[in-house]
Amino acid sequence: MHPLITPEALADALSARPATVVLDVRWRLGGPPGRQDYEVSHIPGAVYVDLDTELSAPPGAGGRHPLPEPERLQEVLRRAGVREGGRVVAYDTADGSVAARVWWLLRWAGYGEVAVLDGGFAAWEAAGLPVTADVPVVLEGEAAGDVVVRPGQMPVLDADEAAALAQEGVLLDARAAPRYRGDTEPVDPKAGHIPGALNAPTTGHVGADGRWLGAAELAERFAGLGVSGDAAVGAYCGSGVTASSVVLALEVAGITSAEKPAALYAGSWSNWCALDREVATGG
């Protein structure tokens, strides 16, 4: 399954394949909660999943959005109706940087049939496709999904491994340039970046229309950063969420593949700061 799906293709899939589960993961750094948007309007049949409480473990030394416990993730996915042999499509407000967390988590969990809605909810509405405020019932018992989470199917970096990759390969920082440079830091206790890391903001994955760039354009962008298929590559961000979209973009670009994906520093900058590691600033 291609990691991106258009609104039109998703609409067709929903009418032809009831086994497609749609997850709404709209979220904003600093709030308000994305559930408020979901309750006003969402894709029919979509189930809201909360990034902070359902797709992450509680914040702590591991970072602001540590990976969830496999048992918890399996429970969340089953209650949403995710079944073995089906497929999942996740969407956020627009650019896919949060929905990519679902894509990455399911791949990490051994579930291959998962995609991000290209352009998110904004593109769905722009296409004139139906929306609703009706909230599906939570599935229980035999009506729930039967997905089995098999963790560890995507490469994950710890702080030492991220530091080494920044020197020996390519480590991409998905945050906005001012945060990477250390000009400002609105969330974490330190400003700057991991020494040797290169800046690749998630906003660079999409065009002016909010849709993802094509494979050739993404490949050109990464080549300009010095990324090729020869060097090991990984990504991080503030808390490990939006960096998932860098992993996705590298795959769309053809630089990595489903068989050999980029690595994710799951703890990211929030974990790096908690460990009081060395910080670099400037561009």
Model pLDDT for residues 28-85, shown as the tens digit of each residue: 888 888 999 999 999 999 999 999 999 999 999 899 999 999 999 999 999 999 999 9
Q: Is 237 a catalytic residue?
A: yes
Tokens of 32: 């308000």
Top mean pLDDT of 32-36, 123-127, 137-141 is at: 123-127
Distance CA 225, CA 246 (A): 13
Tokens of 41: 């309007």
Tokens of 84: 């073995």
pLDDT score for 141: 76
The whole-chain average pLDDT of the chain stands at 95
pLDDT score for 17: 63
CB atoms within 10 A of CB 200: 27
Distance CA 205, CA 97 (A): 9
Residue 15's pLDDT band, with cuts at 50, 70 and 90, is confident
Model pLDDT for residues 143-198, shown as the tens digit of each residue: 789 999 999 999 999 999 999 999 999 999 999 999 999 999 999 999 999 999 99
Percent of residues, the chain, with pLDDT higher than 90: 88
5, 117 in Cβ contact below 8 A?
A: yes
Q: What are the residues facing 4 on neighbouring strands? A: 116
Percent of residues, the chain, with pLDDT higher than 70: 99
Q: Higher model confidence: residue 160 or residue 136?
A: 160
Distance CA 95, CA 81 (A): 25
Of the candidates 80, 163, 237, 273, the residue annotated as catalytic is: 237
98, 27 in Cβ contact below 8 A?
A: yes
Tell me which of 15-29, 31-45, 197-211 is least confident: 15-29
Residue 16's pLDDT band, with cuts at 50, 70 and 90, is confident
Model pLDDT for residues 214-228, shown as the tens digit of each residue: 999 999 999 999 898
pLDDT score for 18: 62
